[in-house]
């Protein structure tokens, strides 16, 4: 997320285009902020919108599950790429300053994530995992778009399998096991090694697999996003990747029998609850979050959102690429209509953090499903969009974006050249 990734506003403003009719996207990279704004609304749909499992109008909210978080993560990679030079990666001291800025923001995001988790809203918080990803991204700041795309594919395919293999020995789980989220108590009581294990491997958004999204976003950020042809390739290529991923997963889980293997692994637990394995799976499939069950390798064939299987990662990357390309194409044509989304996307860290604070103040665990409704989704969305528009008009940078920038901007002063005035000639 920006704000989560906090793209420097100067970088966005500097992304101007050469006026070449029909070939370039006019204006600045505000389409990226529109994509962030959509991700925020998708997050609200998941957190306070109606539950898709219960049917009715909630079914319309099903596409947001998992994919809004993935879009945030891909956009995090885009921000890192733009921060480090975009199409022309920074070199030397300039790249070192970017690396130090990321290294500074990493612990700040971890601390902010731990604080949000301490609010005990019942929701999983991704910020601490972004902090780990920022550190992992530093060695890749000089990489090209092609190298980063290859890294994204390799991680998307190999990391879930490696995670399955390691977790089967260290922390085996079935479907009803809920992946641990990192808390401040974990850091203070169990030590940094345990905390690092949760962040990288066993948590709800493990950085090992989350880096597939970050690499994909960095690759996109290394492209010429002012080019209409590039944005069209992102849109159609991303759409093709998503559709292809769903198709191959359907073949693997259907005709090739993968889903039957999943059902067989669920038979004991389903029998205890008096259900058939398919019924048990449908009721609890949202528990596949970040770390799929280790009871069968067939779990890695599922496309379920936030399951972090190879298919989920590749499908979500495709969707994110299509959204980013589409937003860049649409923004010049519908700027007035899309401006509120762009304003919200430019203040996404504030929107993300404050919506958790609002949930903590308005509801508690005893409220049960009362939080989930179309009305609450509309209320959160309207308030966030209105506040973002007014804040941009009268103040500017979001409050948490401003604070994050100030706290991490010290590296720009390193190596500054002190100019000594020339002596006047007598």
Model confidence at 406: pLDDT above 80:
yes
Quote the percentage of the chain above a pLDDT of 90.
71
pLDDT of residue 29: 85
pLDDT of residue 176: 82
Structure letter (DSSP) for residue 209 = H
Lookup result for tokens 């921060």: 83
Model confidence at 384: pLDDT above 70:
yes
Find all residues with CB under 8 Å of 289, minimum gap 6, and list them: 124, 178, 179, 204, 306, 307
Binning pLDDT at 50, 70 and 90, where does residue 235 land? very high
Lookup result for tokens 């002190």: 418
Structure letter (DSSP) for residue 189 = I
Measure the CA–CA gap between 217 and 196, rounded to whole angstroms: 24
Average pLDDT of span 127-132: 95
Full DSSP string of 16-79: -----TTTB--S-THHHHHHHHHHHHHHHHHHHSPPGGG-GGGGGGGGGTTHHHHHHHHHHHHH
- Is residue 311 within 8 A of residue 248, CB to CB? The reply is yes
Average pLDDT of span 397-424: 76
- Is residue 372 within 8 A of residue 380, CB to CB? The reply is no
Among residues 275, 386, 341, which one has the least CA distance to residue 42?
341
Measure the CA–CA gap between 424 and 256, rounded to whole angstroms: 84
pLDDT of residue 12: 41
Binning pLDDT at 50, 70 and 90, where does residue 63 land? confident
Measure the CA–CA gap between 343 and 33, rounded to whole angstroms: 7
Model confidence at 216: pLDDT above 90:
yes
Q: Please write the tens of the pLDDT for every residue from 263-317.
A: 999 999 999 999 999 999 988 887 888 899 999 999 999 999 889 999 999 999 9
How far is the CA of 385 from the CAs of 2, 37, 38, 73, 413, in angstroms? 16, 9, 11, 21, 35
Other beta carbons within 10 Å of 139? 9
Average pLDDT of span 18-42: 73
Average pLDDT of span 153-160: 98
pLDDT of residue 114: 93
Choose from 6-10, 63-67, 283-287, 343-347 the range with maximum mean pLDDT: 343-347
Model confidence at 8: pLDDT above 50:
no
Measure the CA–CA gap between 79 and 149, rounded to whole angstroms: 16
pLDDT of residue 162: 96
CB-based burial of residue 390 (10 Å sphere; 0-12 exposed, 13-18 middle, 19+ buried)?
A: exposed
pLDDT of residue 329: 96
Measure the CA–CA gap between 171 and 185, rounded to whole angstroms: 19
pLDDT of residue 54: 76
Model confidence at 16: pLDDT above 50:
no
Of 203-217, 273-287, 317-331, the poorest mean pLDDT is in 273-287
Measure the CA–CA gap between 384 and 374, rounded to whole angstroms: 15
- Is residue 75 within 8 A of residue 32, CB to CB? The reply is yes
Higher-pLDDT residue of 222 and 61 is: 222
Model confidence at 246: pLDDT above 50:
yes
Quote the percentage of the chain above a pLDDT of 70.
89
pLDDT of residue 20: 40
Q: What angle do CA 95, 99, 101 make, to 5 degrees?
A: 115
Among residues 67, 1, 380, which one has the least CA distance to residue 246?
67
Tokens of 204: 């709800």
Measure the CA–CA gap between 269 and 398, rounded to whole angstroms: 48
Average pLDDT of span 54-73: 85
Higher-pLDDT residue of 186 and 84 is: 84
Binning pLDDT at 50, 70 and 90, where does residue 24 land? low
SS3 56: helix
pLDDT of residue 192: 82
Measure the CA–CA gap between 227 and 249, rounded to whole angstroms: 33
- Is residue 159 within 8 A of residue 211, CB to CB? The reply is yes
- In DSSP terms, 227 is beta-bridged to 24
Q: Where are the alpha helices (DSSP H) in 276-347?
A: 277-284, 310-330, 335-345
Report field, pTM of the whole predicted structure over 0.85: yes
Of 96-100, 374-378, 422-426, the poorest mean pLDDT is in 422-426
Model confidence at 419: pLDDT above 60:
no
Measure the CA–CA gap between 400 and 79, rounded to whole angstroms: 16
């Amino acid at each position: 997320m920006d704000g989560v990734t906090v793209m420097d506003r100067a970088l966005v403003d500097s992304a101007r285009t050469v006026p070449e009719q029909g070939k370039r996207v006019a204006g600045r990279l505000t389409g990226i902020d529109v994509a962030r704004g959509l991700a925020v609304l998708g997050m609200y749909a998941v957190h306070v919108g109606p539950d898709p499992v219960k049917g009715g109008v909630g079914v319309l909210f099903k596409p947001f599950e998992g994919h809004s978080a993935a879009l945030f993560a891909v956009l995090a990679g885009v921000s890192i790429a733009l921060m480090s030079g975009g199409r022309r990666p920074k070199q030397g001291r300039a790249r070192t300053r970017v690396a130090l800025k990321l290294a500074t923001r990493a612990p700040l995001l971890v601390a902010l994530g731990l604080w949000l988790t301490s609010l005990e809203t019942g929701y999983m918080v991704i910020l601490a995992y972004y902090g780990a990803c920022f550190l992992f991204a530093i060695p890749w700041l000089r990489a090209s778009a092609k190298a980063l795309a290859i890294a994204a594919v390799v991680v998307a395919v190999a990391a879930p399998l490696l995670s399955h293999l390691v977790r089967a020995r260290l922390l085996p789980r079935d479907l009803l096991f809920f992946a641990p989220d990192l808390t401040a108590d974990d850091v203070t009581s169990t030590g940094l090694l345990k905390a690092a294990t949760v962040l990288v491997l066993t948590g709800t958004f493990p950085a090992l697999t989350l880096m597939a999204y970050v690499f994909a976003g960095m690759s996109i950020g290394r492209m010429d996003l002012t080019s209409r042809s590039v944005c069209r390739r992102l849109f159609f290529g991303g759409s093709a990747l998503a559709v292809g991923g769903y198709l191959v997963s359907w073949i693997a889980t259907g005709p090739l029998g993968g889903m039957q293997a999943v059902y067989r692994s669920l038979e004991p637990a389903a029998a205890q609850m008096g259900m058939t394995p398919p019924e048990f799976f449908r009721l609890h499939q949202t528990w596949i979050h970040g770390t799929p069950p280790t009871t069968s390798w067939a779990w890695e064939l599922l496309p379920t959102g936030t399951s972090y299987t190879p298919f989920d990662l590749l499908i979500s990357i495709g969707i994110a690429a299509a959204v980013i390309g589409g937003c860049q194409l649409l923004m010049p044509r519908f700027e007035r209509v899309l401006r509120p989304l762009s304003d919200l996307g430019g203040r996404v860290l504030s929107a993300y953090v404050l919506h958790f604070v609002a949930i903590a103040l308005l509801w508690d665990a005893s409220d049960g499903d009362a939080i989930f409704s179309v009305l609450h989704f509309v209320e959160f969305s309207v308030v966030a969009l209105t506040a973002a528009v007014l804040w941009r008009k009268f103040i500017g940078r979001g409050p948490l974006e401003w604070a994050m920038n100030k706290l991490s901007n010290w590296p720009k002063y390193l190596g500054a050249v002190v100019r000594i005035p020339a002596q006047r000639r007598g």
